[in-house]
Amino acid sequence: MYRLPALEPVRPLRRIALLTSGGDAPGMNAAIRAVVRSARTEGVDVLGYSRGFTGLVNGDMRPLTSASVASILHRGGTQLKSDRCDAFREAPVRWQCAEQLREMEIDGLVVIGGDGSLTGARLLYEETGFPVIGIPATIDNDIQGSDETIGFDTAVNTALDAIDRIRDTANSHERLFLVEVMGRNSGFIAAQAGIAGGAELILVPERRIDLDQVCRSLRESRESGKASSSIILVAEGRKPGRTQRLAQALEERGHEPRLCILGHTQRGGNPTGRDRVLASCLGTMAVAYLANGQQGVMLGIQDRAVVAVPLAAIGERQQLDPSMLDLALTLQR
């Protein structure tokens, strides 16, 4: 379980708002529910903006009550919908949004999303001074300042379930499968699902693909009798078609790979218990931090404790620990 800080309220909250932005992540609904119910317990009204910053720009919001968030804890996606808003990239638009929030007597905004969403939250706070709390929700787990992000555990387990099923077919027909998981800039899903699923090779954006090494590993596995079938887990990478190009290159070298792209199945589905608890803790603490007078921070997990990280301190994406890839190589031998 997570350790939650004891915070004393120092400012009265009358009304707060929240939104979900960017790519959806399993557990966003659990975070929405936690924000609403913890706020309503303290007599604080909650407004939910639809479709992320697009709803904020357009003033598209509705009141949220404890009843309106009933039976969403276990559901994937986001009840508030999500979007990527180009208009919010403009500073005058952010100023206009802050003025609208103040005119509606809203005391703070909770932004639930990934890297781009938290960047928008940071700019809104830095430029206008409007109180903002960020909650990291992305299946990529690449937000600097938090050991875990909402949705990551579910995405890994979704990928792992597919790997286990593909393994049955691979073993039955002694075949080579390339399984592509999400991760344009981050190999967290590939590394964790690959280790848990016993993949023979794990290829991530953080390391260049060495085709000679891939072929050598496949050959050694078959010659040693260690494996008559193989699964190579591939993070999609920055340029589309990475896994298809690898499959073609392997075919040119005499292999017969089968290709399986998991795609957006990793975003959907019911969140795991771990993601539900994580989202519930961060959503509840977002209200507590606002009442404590803290703002311009993202709530994250460090050493299993909820911590507040200044949004200004969140820079480049969190990098995959190379030791995880070394562990994967050790277990493949």
Q: What is the pLDDT of residues 117-140, one digit of tens each?
A: 999 999 999 999 999 999 999 999
Task: Give yes or no for residue 93 having a pLDDT over 80.
Answer: yes
pTM over 0.85: yes
Count other Cβ atoms within 10 Å, centred on residue 163. 23
What does pLDDT average to over the chain?
Answer: 94
Between 47 and 208, the more confident residue is 47
How far CA 82 is from CA of 28, 56, 112, 276, in Å, comes to 10, 11, 10, 19
Asked whether residue 329 is domain-assigned, the answer is no
Task: Give yes or no for residue 46 having a pLDDT over 90.
Answer: yes
Same domain, 20 and 126: yes
Q: 286 with 299: CB under 8 angstroms?
A: yes
User: Residue 104 maps to which CATH number?
Assistant: 3.40.50.450
Give the position of tokens 């620990």: 321
- pLDDT value for 230: 87
Same domain, 144 and 208: no
Asked whether residue 72 is domain-assigned, the answer is yes
Task: Give yes or no for residue 102 having a pLDDT over 70.
Answer: yes
% of the chain with per-residue pLDDT over 70: 98
Q: What is the pLDDT of residues 209-244, one digit of tens each?
A: 889 888 888 888 776 666 667 899 999 998 889 999
Asked whether residue 177 is domain-assigned, the answer is yes
- pLDDT value for 226: 63
- pLDDT value for 228: 61
- pLDDT value for 174: 83
- pLDDT value for 15: 98
List strand residue ranges (DSSP E) for 42-154, in order. 45-49, 61-64, 109-113, 132-136
% of the chain with per-residue pLDDT over 90: 80
Beta bridge partners of 298: 134, 309
Task: Please give the residue range of the domain that contains residue 74.
Answer: 15-151+271-313
275 is catalytic: no
Strand ranges of the sheet holding 201-203, from the earlier edge strand across to the other edge: 201-203, 230-235, 176-181, 257-261
- pLDDT value for 170: 87
Which tokens in the block code for residue 218? 């496949």
- pLDDT value for 225: 60
Pick the catalytic residue: 24, 115, 140, 153?
Answer: 140
Same domain, 259 and 181: yes
Asked whether residue 117 is domain-assigned, the answer is yes
Q: Which helix (H) or strand (E) holds 203?
A: strand 201-203
Q: Measured between alpha carbons, how far is 136 from 114 in angstroms, rounded to an integer?
A: 6
Query: For residue 319, what pLDDT band results from cuts at 50, 70 and 90?
Result: confident
Same domain, 284 and 258: no
Asked whether residue 2 is domain-assigned, the answer is no
> Mean pLDDT over residues 316-332, rounded?
82
Task: Give yes or no for residue 332 having a pLDDT over 90.
Answer: no
- pLDDT value for 277: 98
Residue 129, sorted as left (phi over 0), alpha (psi -120 to 50) or beta, turns out to be left
- Structural domain tally of the chain? 2
Q: What is the pLDDT of residues 149-182, one digit of tens each?
A: 999 999 999 999 999 999 999 888 888 999 999 9
Same domain, 84 and 204: no
Asked whether residue 67 is domain-assigned, the answer is yes
Lowest-confidence region among 22-26, 174-178, 186-190, 314-318: 314-318
User: Residue 218 maps to which CATH number?
Assistant: 3.40.50.460
